[in-house]
Amino acid sequence: MSSGLFDKTTNALATSLSMRQLRHNVTSSNIANAETPGYHAKKMDFEGALQRALDLDGGNSLSTSSPEHFAVGGNSVTKTRPDIYEDPEGAVNNDGNTVDVEKEMSALSENAIMYKAALQLINKKMAALKYAATEGR
């Protein structure tokens, strides 16, 4: 994903789209299981995962002082996975379910808006690349 053609911003937007798709799946699953007795709503650590994914140059992680040491800096965007866990803030209903449908629908709407915004930014960057490649023709 990180070729010379795309800059860090484009990679960040692509990573954001990928993680927003995963967040959509987690939230949709919560909504689909709103009536399932004993189901515990899941939550995704989107911001933490995105921060780890975007630390491509290893600037926020450990570094080595010798070429003989194992490399510990920067993870590949494709190898970074967000943490998905049971939502600790969920109130338990009479049937043991912790899904708050209104909260989940709100999260789904917000995520959709942010997904569309990132997609529009990528489209603008691609249009600029196309314009540059055709020298404005």
Q: pLDDT by residue (tens digit) across 74-83?
A: 445 555 677 8
Alpha helices in 7-133 (DSSP H): 8-32, 46-54, 101-133
* pTM attached to this predicted model: 0.72
pLDDT in tens, 82-105: 788 898 888 898 999 999 999 999
Q: Quick count: other Cβ atoms within 10 Å of Cβ 23?
A: 23
- Predicted confidence at residue 74, as pLDDT, reads 45
